């Protein structure tokens, strides 16, 4: 008999983390489910309403996987935040550059 969780969770290659856990048959990460459910306080029913390709069983399996692998998922989340911060430094938005230049030379942002 196959463990129930393996029916719902798959591993996909990840450029930043080696592998990432996702809901089987989708590209929705376990990390995303964790954020929606635990950090945003969304119920499994609310998540399924927004992502009808998911089932409540998928959500519960994702959270089970998260709690079984909490340290790994938290490391992946932290690494993602670090990469985002690096990218923001390397490639600031045009509006950020305009705001900074406005403060330096006194010019207003052109429309």
pLDDT in tens, 54-110: 999 999 999 999 999 999 999 988 988 898 899 888 888 888 777 777 866 555 555
Instruction: Tally Cβ neighbours within 10 Å of residue 29.
Output: 21
Give domain limits for the chain: 4-103
The pLDDT tens digits of the residues spanning 11-55 come to 988 777 678 899 999 999 999 999 999 999 999 999 999 999 999
Question: Environment class of residue 47 by beta-carbon count within 10 Å: exposed (0-12), middle (13-18) or buried (19+)?
Answer: buried
Q: Which fold has domain 4-103?
A: Arc Repressor Mutant, subunit A (1.10.10)
Query: What global pTM score does this model have?
Result: 0.73
């Amino acid at each position: 008999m196959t463990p129930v969780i393996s029916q719902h969770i798959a591993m996909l290659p990840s450029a930043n983390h080696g592998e990432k856990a996702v809901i089987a048959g989708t590209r929705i990460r376990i990390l995303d489910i964790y954020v929606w459910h635990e950090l945003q306080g969304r119920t499994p029913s609310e998540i399924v309403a927004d992502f009808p390709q998911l089932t409540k069983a998928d959500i519960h399996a994702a959270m089970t996987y998260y709690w079984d692998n909490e340290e790994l998922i938290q490391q992946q989340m932290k690494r993602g935040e670090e990469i985002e911060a690096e990218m923001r430094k390397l490639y600031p938005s045009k509006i950020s550059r305009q705001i900074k230049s406005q403060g330096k030379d006194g010019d207003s942002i052109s429309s």
